[in-house]
Structure 1
Amino acid sequence: MREVIATRYVTPLREGGSLPGLVEGDDLGTYIMKFTGAGQGRKTLVAEVICGELGRRLGLRVPELVRMQLDPVIGLSEPDQEVQALLKASGGLNLGMDYLPGSLGFDPLAFEVSAREAGRVVWFDALINNVDRSWRNPNLLVWHGELWLIDHGAAMIWHHNWPTAQKASARPYNASDHALATYGPDVAAAAEEFAPRITEDLLTEIAADVPDEWLDGEPGFDSPDELRGAYVRTLLDRARTVSEHITIGEPTKDRPSQAPEWLAGKLPRRAVK
């Protein structure tokens, strides 16, 4: 990944719990910055890098990710004390995601997705065990008429408890609530396309993009490279069989919907076999 220096803090983005910020870089680009000092911790950034770069290598549309150096002094004019504290806690290396100006949040009533593309996204989310692309919170953008995938910080939930990672990573993936479940995802075609491409060399190359300082000190691992190897093995093992364990059925109804009533009532649901 490229390294960029943040030159101006523009504004906080309050849609997400981690309070990312819109910043400008020394390459004249504009980025969504995700901070090491945010409450979710550095593992969120690790997941963003590994999953985001993996998605890009597979040909999915994920905004470019960059390593972003932050000097907290650039936020001194920000009046919000919460933001000031976040910037002070995040000096040094953070993560930037290319800003897509004019992009819109994905609306299933206004944007059509092919079964092939839906299947590719569902298979990818199953591989990384992404629990945060539901119809309640799609984490999808539409930009220039195309679908873009964002926000993978909640994926790979097994890395929050490595002693149980092997067992947890082998669990089936229920895509019934997935944002693209209603488009008849062709998961079989996606598996045929993607599974052979998930190689040890590919995953090792992607894991190398994660900065050492975000991996240091993980209990049970003697070095960042040893921890990188654990990510590689876990994803490699999961890629071999995950397509056999994806289920899509009726969406759950025991949790309150975050969608407005007019939207929730119109979302069609169908099982995919």
Structure 2
Amino acid sequence: MSSNLRSVTVTRYVTPLREGGSMPAIAEADDEFLYVIKFRGAGQGPRALIAELIGGEIARLLGLPIPELVFATLDEAFGRTEADEEIQDLLKFSVGLNLGLHYLSGAITFDPVVNKVEPLLASKIVWLDCLLTNMDRTCRNTNMLIWHKELWLIDHGASLYFHHSWQNWEEQATKPFFLIKEHVLLPMASELESVDVEFRKLLTSEKIRTIAAMIPDDWLNDENTFKTKQEYRDAYAVFLETRVAHSENFVNEAQNAKQALI
């Protein structure tokens, strides 16, 4: 698995996506593709980008459909002509390295009433979100798209919420994910045990550390919990390694929550 994402430079701001709390935007890059850009200057800062990067690349490693992620650089002069002051401020605070997801043109939002998901795929997504402690895949906000008749995962920025304070993070790594009861795909997730066996084999320590190594130095500037940036990467890796090693805790919780729905 490559430890590098492609890098692009943002050349044109197209339109904001105001339904996102952090106000991402569709923008064009110097490779002439459109991307949904997640900005470092938004409310949650670079931590949301770290969660997006780790969550997205783990999803890809596990064979789940996710748009390509790229490092997206914003030049200092970019956005000065933007008329909207709120957007102009966001762009000013986002100069440097941001994160982009390939824009799936024509995609429609996943609708749990209309769009059916096979039990195996549902179980894989539920397992992933338990691992990542991703609270953002509910009926209110599914963070899934249908594109060319296939389901695609987007937006993992709310994952790994332990890193907003780093309190008791080692203990949190072993805990069940109680918010899984709100997951939009939980009713279909009947293959969790077999998925658990498969994914524990795929998510080796080596692969987890390869993904953690992708976190840019630039996104760890405002941190003061650990002494070095490498210690931060190591902590993310240890959290995920511990979580995988204790996956029975979150699998059992998900199964119990599913049972309670019946």
Contact 1:4 1:68 in 2 (8 A): yes
Q: Deviations over 1:63-116 (max 9, x none)?
A: 111111112533234321100111111111111111000111110111110110
DSSP 3-state at the match of 1:67: strand
Q: Distance in 1 between matches of 2:130 and 2:254?
A: 11
| Distance apart, 1:237 and its partner CA | 0.6
Q: Does 1:166 align with 2:208?
A: no
User: Where do 5+ consecutive residues of structure 2 fail to align?
Assistant: none
Question: Does 2:193 correspond to 1:188?
Answer: yes
Alignment: residue pair count: 256
Q: Supply the distance in 1 between the matched residues of 2:237 and 2:255 (Cα, whole angstroms).
A: 30
- Name the SS for the 1:147 alignment partner: strand
Tell me the distance in 2 between the aligned counterparts of 1:224 and 1:206.
15
TM-score by length of 2: 0.92
State the shift of 1:216 in Å.
3.1
Paired AA for residue 156 in structure 2: H
Report the AA paired with residue 201 of structure 1: E
Q: Show structure 1 runs of 4+ deviating over 6 A.
A: none
For residues 254-265 of structure 1, the aligned pairs below 5 Å read: none
TM-score normalised according to structure 1 size: 0.88
2:148 maps to 1:144: yes
Q: Which residue matches 1:261?
A: none
- Tell me the equivalent position of 1:14: 18
Residue identity matched to 1:182 = P
**Are residue 111 (structure 1) and residue 104 (structure 2) matched?**
no
- Aligned residue among 130, 134, 137 for 2:134: 130
Q: Which AA in structure 1 matches 2:71?
A: R
SS in 2 for 1:50: helix
8 Å contact 1:184–1:272 — kept in the other structure?
no
Distance 1:48 1:214 in 2: 12
The AA in structure 1 aligned to 2:140 is R
Identity between Structure 1 and Structure 2 (%): 43
- 1:14-50 Cα offsets, whole Å, 9 max, x none, are 0111111111011111101111111111100011111
Equivalent residue for 2:209, pick from 199, 204, 208: 204
The one of 234, 238, 247 equivalent to 2:243 is: 238
Aligned partner of 2:7 in structure 1 is: 3
**For the Cα contact (< 8 Å) 1:47–1:155, is it kept in 2?**
yes
Give the secondary structure class of the aligned counterpart of 1:51. helix
Distance 1:225 1:217, change over 3 A: same
1:84-95 to structure 2, matched below 5 A, reads 84-95=88-99
1:38 aligned to 2:38? no
